[in-house]
Structure 1
């Protein structure tokens, strides 16, 4: 069972993600702001992080950059899940170290498939 951290500030989206990811057989932790998400990521060392971009305290790109600069966090796979759909946003996320990028609104089936692909890439 893979350990997945979901960092999402919208309660309804967070609940949907938690249910869908758990339903796919993964162990789930969650945080509703970037600062707490970064703390959990470095303490729990999840296999994958589903990371929103626009959040309080630290945005997703700041979290990603700090993760990549950390010895522990540097190897954690990160899937950005965000409403930001402009190509320069996608490029910025990949430049900061994202492993994958999905734009909201999203397909739950596609999300689960992309998670499986990232986890198999080890």
Structure 2
């Protein structure tokens, strides 16, 4: 399984990757993207099974990236790991096709709950 982690903060990408490992998902291939545009390109080139994306990023934000992926016909599994988890954002994420939204601060248990049904 290949997981693409998209966040404009390298430190946050490392935290997400470490938390994935703590949640028992350390055996997967991990690819990193530094913004939504990079993520969009890497979904095409890397063919990940799952995208974990920040919401607020320069060049292209996460929700626009998800919209662009769906417009291209991509059905890649997509979830948000972001600092905001308002009801409005959760609704927008779900309407756009995201499977989950994990709000920071998060724990390995939060990842386990969100990913168990997704990664099987």
Q: State the shift of 1:109 in Å.
A: 2.9
* 1:57-77 deviation line (CA, Å, top 9, x unaligned): 000000000111112x2x110
Q: How large is the Cα RMSD of the aligned pairs? A: 1.5
Figure out how many residues of one structure are paired with residues of the other and give that number.
117
Q: Which runs of 5+ in 2 are unaligned?
A: none
TM-score (norm 1): 0.87
Contact 1:24-1:112 within 8 A present in 2 as well: no
SS of residue matched to 1:55: coil
CA distance in 1, matches of 2:33, 2:59: 12
* 1:5-43 deviation line (CA, Å, top 9, x unaligned): 000112211111223335621110001111101100122
CA distance in 2, matches of 1:86, 1:20: 22
Q: Which runs of 5+ in 1 are unaligned?
A: none
TM-score (norm 2): 0.89
Query: 1:10-89 residue pairs with structure 2 within 5 A?
Result: 10-22=9-21, 24-71=26-73, 73=74, 75-89=75-89
